[in-house]
Amino acid sequence: MSEIVIRKVIDLLLRQGLVYTIERRGTFVAARPTLVRVSPERQMEDPATTFGNESPHRVDDVRIERTTTLVPADDEVAGLLGINPGTEVEHIVTAVAELGRPVSISDSYQLPGTDVATATVLEETIADKVPAPTHAVWLKVPAGDLVKAIRQRFLRHGRILMVSDVSYPKDRYESFVFRMTLEPES
């Protein structure tokens, strides 16, 4: 096998999270526990806590990058938040990597000053789909590959407080678990 082929194979294994590298020490097979994403409990946790709990590695091995900017709402975001297009909203991008491997990225939109912790309903729509271009770049997903995409809507009194689009590598979680409280009929 040529060195070029070997490098490409190692790059593919790195992108899939099957191996990891430690500078000046080498490339190692990753111990990958079967992860189960439990919702909605994790949604109100800080991402550092959530991903730290999932990681079999040290908390220091999980890197979270979060940026918040004010942007004019496009037609879709404005429609969801019930505001006029062009109204300024907070755009929060949260990108997470574990041992240098990207594991999650999200784009969230809310009106400035919104306290999402007051939400009483979380609605999630899960689909396998081609990621947004910025999500594909962060997750290092080849063109045309699918990711696990989750659209979250945090609501209070029927009004959307925040909408969030989250992307995970398709193989990040073996399953998704949801719990809900049921009110029995009298």
**Quick check: pTM over 0.85?**
no
Three-state DSSP class for residue 130: coil
pLDDT of 179 reads: 62
Closest by CA to 47, choosing from 104, 131, 125, is: 104
Cα angle 137, 93, 86 (rounded to 5 degrees) comes to: 110
Q: What is the pLDDT of residue 165?
A: 96
Q: Where are the domains of the chain?
A: 1-30, 33-178
What does the pLDDT read at residue 129? 92
pLDDT at 37: 52
Question: Domain spanning 33-178: which CATH class is it, in words?
Answer: alpha beta
- Average pLDDT along the chain, 186 residues, taken 10 residues at a time: 84 73 82 54 55 54 91 97 97 91 93 91 88 94 88 92 92 67 65
> Could you please report the per-residue DSSP string of 45-68?
S-HHHHHHHH-SS-GGGEEEEEEE
pLDDT of residue 44: 54
pLDDT at residue 49 in the model:
56
